[in-house]
Amino acid sequence: MSLQKPLMRGLLAKRLRFHVPIAFALSMLAAVGWKYGVTEPRKKAYAEFYKHYDATKEFTSMREAGVFESVRPTGK
Amino acid sequence: MLRLTAGRVGSLVARRAAVALTTSSARMASHGHEVSEAVDMSKPMYWDRREIPLPDKRYKDILTPADKSLKEKEKGPWGQLSNEEKLALYRLSFCQTYPEMNQSSSEWKTVVAGVLYCIGLTGLVIIWQTAYVSPPAPRTFDAEWQAKQVKRMLDMRVSPIEGFAAQWDYEKGQWK
C-alpha cells in the first residue's frame, strides 16, 4: 500500500510550459488570420473603390435624389 | 443567536430547563416539527472540499471504545497497524476521499432541463403578450415605409465601399 509521492512543486511552471506555447501559437494564428482575412481585403476594397471614383458625379446623383438640405435638386 | 437567547433564558430558569431549551431552540424556531440540531458555526467545522485538504476538525466526534483503542494504537509505530486499521483511522478523520468528493453527478441534466423549461414558459408568455398586450407597431415598420427608407439609404450612399450601398448596382438599379 505504498503510493508514489505526488508532485508537490513546480505545478504552475508545468502548466505554463504546456499552455503558453499553445496560447502563443493560437494568438499568432488569430493575428495572421485577421490580417489576411480582414485587413488586406479591406484595403483592396477601398483602393478599388477610389481608383475610379468620380466625386462630382456622385454628388450630382445624390443631389438629384434629394438627400441634401444645403442644395436642392437642379431645376427647383 | 438562538443559543445566546436560550442561554440568557437558562440563567433565569433551572439548569435542567436550560438544557431542554437549548436542544429545543431549533425546534422552537421551526414551528414544532422535528429538525436536526442547529450547527454551532463559531466552532471549528468539518468540510469535504477540494480546497481544504485538512479540515479544522476530525470527522467523527463521538468515538466508540473500539475507535478509542485504535487511536491509542495509532500513537505507537504505524508499521504495526494493519491495512484495515489504517483505513478505519482514515475514515475516523475524513468522511469522503478526494475521488469520492470529486465524482460527477447527473445534476447538470436536471439543471439544463429546468432552464430550457423556464425559457419555454417565458416564450409562451411573450407570445401571449405580443398578441394581447403590446400596442400596434409604429408606422416606420410598414413595408411601404421600409421600402422608402431603403431607397433613401441607397441615395445617400450609406457604406458604399464594403457595406449597404456596396451591394447595390447603381447602373442596373438592382441588388448585386
> What's the pLDDT at B27?
46
Check B83 against A1: CB less than 8 A apart.
yes
Q: Report helix, strand or coil for B114.
A: helix
Q: How many domains does chain A have?
A: 1
Share of chain B above pLDDT 90, in %: 69
Summarize pLDDT for B25-68 with one digit per residue, the tens.
444 455 666 777 788 889 999 999 999 999 999 999 888 999 99
Asked whether residue A23 is domain-assigned, the answer is: no
Section A38-45 average pLDDT: 96
The least confident of A31-40, A42-51, B74-83, B109-118 is B74-83
> What's the pLDDT at A37?
97
Residue B24 has pLDDT above 70, yes or no: no
Asked whether residue A17 is domain-assigned, the answer is: no
State which fold the B44-103 domain adopts: Cytochrome C Oxidase; Chain D (1.10.442)
**A73 shares contact with chain B (CB less than 8 Å):** no
Tell me the C-alpha distance between B83 and B96, whole Å.
Answer: 18
Asked whether residue A64 is domain-assigned, the answer is: yes
> What's the pLDDT at A4?
92
| Phi–psi pair at B127, nearest 5 degrees | -60, -45
Question: Measured between beta carbons, which residues in chain A are less than 8 angstroms from residue B161?
Answer: 45-46, 49
Q: For residue B136, what are the CA distances in angstroms to B124, B127, B129?
A: 20, 15, 12
Higher-confidence residue: B146 or B39? B146
Domain boundaries, chain B: 44-103, 104-134, 139-175
Higher-confidence residue: B11 or B157? B157
pTM, rounded to two decimals: 0.56
